[in-house]
Structure 1
Amino acid sequence: MTQTDTRVGPAAAGPAPGRARPFWTTRRRDQLTGYLFITPQLLGSVVFVILPLVLVVWYSLHEWNVLAGSFDYIGTDNYAALADDPNLGPVLRSTGLFSVGLVVFNLGLALLLAVLLNQKLRGTIVFRTLFFSPVVVSLVAWTIVWGFLLQDNGGINGLLDTIGVDGPNWLRGEGTAMLSVIVVQVFKNVGLNMVLFLAALQGVPAELYEAAEVDGASRLRQFWRITVPLISPTIMLTSIITVVGSLQVFAQIAVLTQGGPGTSTTVLVYYLYQQAFQFHHFGYGATLSILLFVIVLALTVLQWQMRKRWVFHES
C-alpha cells in the first residue's frame, strides 16, 4: 500500500529542486513601482535644487566675465572680498529690518484679522474674500499700482491733502522708503496667513472657552492660555514661510525703490542681483547667494528647534 506525501508549508511550496527562482518576484515589482513613483520628484530635486547648489559653489570659486568670455579659477578670493565688502553691513541691516518688520506686521495683522473674522457676524465672508484677493493678484501688477499710489503726487498724498496734511515722498525718503516697501508686502500676503490662522482657530474646541468663562477667565486670558497654545503649530508654520519669503524679496524693491535712497532698501537678494547682472560680477554674486542660503538655512533650523519650547504637544 502506497503512502501519499501530505507535507505542507515552505518546503512544499518552494521551487522545485534545480529550478531558479523567477527574477520578477512580487517584492521586486513593488519596489520598482515605488521607485517609479518617486522618480519625477527625485529628478526634479536633482535638476532644480542639488545641481544648482553645486554649480553655485563652483561659480563662487571663479571669476566669470561674460563680456570678456573668461572663466578663471580664483579660489576663495570671492569669500575674502565678501568679508571686506563695505556695503555688506548696510545691506544686511536693511535685510534684517525688512524681515523683522514684515514678520511682525504680517503675522500680527493676520492673527488679528483671523480672530475678528472667526466671529459669527454678518458679512465675514465678504471681508475674507477682500483680504485674501491680493494674494492671487500678480505681484508685479500689485507693486506697480502701489508705486503710483506712493509717489509724491500719488493717491496716498492726495488723500492726505484733503485733510490738510502734506504727505512726504514715500519712496524717496530715508525714513519712509523701507516702511513703504514693508506695508506693500504686508498687504499683499497678509490674506494667506489670515486664512491659515482662521483654519487653525476653527479647530479649537469651543468647550475650552466655555469652561474658561465658567472659571471667570477674561477674553484676553483665554486668548493667551487657550488660543495661542492650540494654534502654535500654525504660528510656527506661518513664521517660517514669512521669514523665508522676507529674505527672498526682490520684485518689490526693483519696482518701487531700486534699492534707494542710497542703500536704505537694498536687501541681500537685490544686492546679489546688482553684483551679478548689473555689474557682471557673477562669481561674487554666486558667493552672495551662498551667504543667503546659509542665512535662510540657519534661521529655518533655529525656528524648527525652537518648536520644542513653544509649540503645543511638541517635546
Structure 2
Amino acid sequence: MTQTDTRVGPATAGPTPGRARPFWTTRRRDQLTGYLFITPQLLGSAVFVILPLVLVVWYSLHEWNVLAGTFDFVGTDNYQALADDPNLGAVLRATGLFSVGLVVFNLALALLLAVLLNQKLRGTILFRTLFFSPVVVSLVAWTIVWGFLLQDNGGLNSLLDTVGVDGPNWLRGEGTAMLSVIVVQVFKNVGLNMVLFLAALQGVPAELYEAAQVDGASRLRQFWRITVPLISPTIMLTSIITVVGSLQVFAQIAVLTQGGPGTSTTVLVYYLYQQAFQFHHFGYGATLSIVLFAIVLALTVLQWQMRKRWVFHES
C-alpha cells in the first residue's frame, strides 16, 4: 500500500504561528499619506464653506439686532417676510436682467475676440494683452474710472458732444443704468473668457478644417459644425463661471448706481447688503443669502445636466 505525502509546500503555507501581521502595511501608509494631503482642503471647506452655510440657516431663524444686542428666535418669520416683501419681485427681475445681459454679451464678445485673435496675423499678441489687462486691474479702481466716464458731464458724453450728440446721464437713467453696469462688467472680465476660448480654439485639429474646405464647407458652416462642438466643454465651463459671477456682483452696483434709479439696478446681492448692513436686519439678510445660494445651486446643476445634450463627447 502506497503512503500519500501530505506535506504542505511553501506556496500554500499558512501564517506562521505566533507571528502577528504588521499594522503599518504599505496600503495603510499610502492611505494615511493621502488623507494628510487632503486634510487642509477638508478643514478649509469645513471652516469656510460648510460652517458658514449652517450658520446662515441658523441666523435666518433669528432676528439679530446688533445695535440693541438682541438675538431672538423667530422661526419662519423671516421667510414669511420674504414672501411678503414688495421689493423682491423688482430685485429678482433686475438680477435676472443683469445676469442674462452679462452672460450673453460676455460670452459672445469673448468668443468673437478669441476667433479673431486666433488668426495668424501680426500684432495679435499685443491685442491679447490689451484685452486681458482689465482682468488683473483692481475691480474698485476699474469701476471708479468708469463712474467718471459715465457721468452726465463725463468723458463719454464729452466725446459724444464733439460730434453733436447730447449724451444721457448714463448712471441715472431708467433705461441706461442697467445697460451701463452690464457694459462695465463685460469689459472688465471678457479677457478671461477670451483666453479660455483661445486655448480651446488652438486645440482644434487643423486637419478637420482642411477636410471641410475640400468638401466645400463655408467658414460659417465650419464654425458651427467643427469649432462649436469641439470647444463646447469650454463653452460650458465659461458659462457656469459667468452665470455664478453675474449673481454675485456687488462692487459695481455699490460704486456706480447704489441700486438706483429706484430699484432698477438693485440686484439680489446688493439688496442683501442693504438689508443686513444698512438696515441691520441680519436675520432677513441671511434669508436672502439662502435664496441666492439656492438660485446659484439650481442654475449650476441645470447647466451641468444640460451638458449631456450639447457638450461634445458627453452622454
TM-score range, shorter chain: over 0.9
SS of the equivalent of 1:72 reads: strand
* Equivalent in the alignment of 1:261: 261
Deviations 1:56-88 (CA, angstroms, capped at 9, x unpaired): 000000000111111111111111110110000
Q: C-alpha displacement at 1:4, in angstroms?
A: 18
Q: 1:13 to 1:27 in 2, by over 3 A?
A: farther
SS of the equivalent of 1:64 reads: strand
SS of the equivalent of 1:163 reads: coil
SS of the equivalent of 2:259 reads: coil
Q: C-alpha displacement at 1:20, in angstroms?
A: 2.6
Q: C-alpha displacement at 1:207, in angstroms?
A: 1.1
SS of the equivalent of 2:64 reads: strand
Q: 1:184 to 1:263 in 2, by over 3 A?
A: same
Distance 1:181 1:314 in 2: 36
Deviations 1:6-42 (CA, angstroms, capped at 9, x unpaired): 9998778876412332322222211111110010000
SS of the equivalent of 2:17 reads: coil
SS of the equivalent of 1:63 reads: strand
Deviations 1:281-306 (CA, angstroms, capped at 9, x unpaired): 00000000000000000000000000
Deviations 1:253-305 (CA, angstroms, capped at 9, x unpaired): 00000000000000000000000000000000000000000000000000000
Distance 1:101 1:60 in 2: 31
* Equivalent in the alignment of 1:118: 118
Distance 1:14 1:171 in 2: 83
Q: 1:9 to 1:160 in 2, by over 3 A?
A: farther
Q: 1:146 to 1:22 in 2, by over 3 A?
A: same
SS of the equivalent of 2:63 reads: strand
Give the root-mean-square deviation of aligned CA atoms.
2.5
Q: 1:22 to 1:4 in 2, by over 3 A?
A: farther
SS of the equivalent of 1:71 reads: strand
Q: 1:10 to 1:34 in 2, by over 3 A?
A: farther
Q: 1:164 to 1:35 in 2, by over 3 A?
A: same
Deviations 1:172-210 (CA, angstroms, capped at 9, x unpaired): 110000000000000000000000000111111111111
* Equivalent in the alignment of 1:2: 2
SS of the equivalent of 2:71 reads: strand
Runs of at least 5 residues in structure 1 that lack an aligned partner in the other structure: none
Q: C-alpha displacement at 1:152, in angstroms?
A: 0.6
Misfit runs of 4+, over 3 Å: 1-16
Distance 2:96 2:178 in 1: 11
Deviations 1:96-129 (CA, angstroms, capped at 9, x unpaired): 0000000000000000000000111000000000
TM-score by length of 2: 0.96
Distance 1:67 1:130 in 2: 48
Q: C-alpha displacement at 1:248, in angstroms?
A: 0.2
Q: 1:16 to 1:251 in 2, by over 3 A?
A: same
Asked if residue 134 in structure 1 is aligned to residue 106 in structure 2, the reply is no
Q: C-alpha displacement at 1:91, in angstroms?
A: 0.1
Does 122-131 or 217-226 show the bigger shift? 217-226
Does 120-129 or 201-210 show the bigger shift? 201-210
* Equivalent in the alignment of 1:313: 313
Distance 2:114 2:9 in 1: 63
Q: How many residues align?
A: 315
Does 203-212 or 175-184 show the bigger shift? 203-212
Runs of at least 5 residues in structure 2 that lack an aligned partner in the other structure: none
Q: 1:240 to 1:17 in 2, by over 3 A?
A: same
Q: 1:242 to 1:7 in 2, by over 3 A?
A: farther
Counting only pairs closer than 5 Å after superposition, residues 187-206 of structure 1 correspond to structure 2 as 187-206=187-206
Q: 1:43 to 1:5 in 2, by over 3 A?
A: farther
Distance 2:268 2:58 in 1: 20
